[in-house]
Amino acid sequence: MQGRRDVKTTEKKEKPKEEHVDDKKTEEAPRTRQAKENIVFIGSKPPMSYVLAIITSLSASNAKEITLKARGRAISTAVDAAEITRRRFMNDLKVSEIALGTEEMPAREGETRGRMTSTMEIKLVRE
C-alpha cells in the first residue's frame, strides 16, 4: 500500500431553521399588579444608576409611587438614591414609608449556620 492520506471530510451541519415571526401584534395578558412594575431592586451599582431608574419608572408609567428594595450593604446606596432623587430631581417626591426587616441567608460552603441579613424597603410617593 502506498502512503495513504487521511482525508478529512467536512459534513455540512444543518443550521436550525429560523422561525419568522409575523408582524402581527399579539395580545398581551393584562397586568394584574402594577406594584411589581414600580419596584427598583438596589444592588452594587452607583447611586445615580438607580436615580435614573427611579425617574424613568415614575415618568414612564405615570405612577404615583415607587418602592426601593435593598439588603445588606446596598441599604446605604438605596438611601442615597432616594435622597438624591428627592432633593435634586423631583422636589414633589416624599418618603411615605420605610420598612426594615431581616432575612436568613443560607449557609455558605464551609459554614454551619445561615447568616442574618438586614433588609430595607423605601416607598416614595409623588404628591
Q: What is the CATH number of the domain that holds 86?
A: 3.30.110.20
Residue written as grid cell 422561525: 19
DSSP letter string over 1-65?
Answer: ---PPPPPPPPPPPPPPPPPPPSPPPPPPPPS-STTTTEEE--SS-HHHHHHHHHHHHHHTT-SE
Residue numbers of the domain that contains 53: 39-105+116-126
Residue 63 within a domain: yes
Amino acid at 74: A
Per-residue pLDDT in tens (0 to 9) along the chain, 127 residues:
555 555 555 555 555 555 555 444 445 444 444 445 799 999 999 999 999 999 999 998 788 999 999 999 999 999 999 999 999 999 999 999 999 999 999 999 998 999 999 999 999 999 8
Query: In this structure, is residue 111 part of a structural domain?
Result: no
25 in any annotated domain? no
Q: Is residue 7 part of a domain?
A: no
Q: Identify whether 21 is part of a domain.
A: no
84 occurs within a structural domain: yes
Domain count, the chain: 1
Tell me the chain's radius of gyration from C-alpha atoms: 26
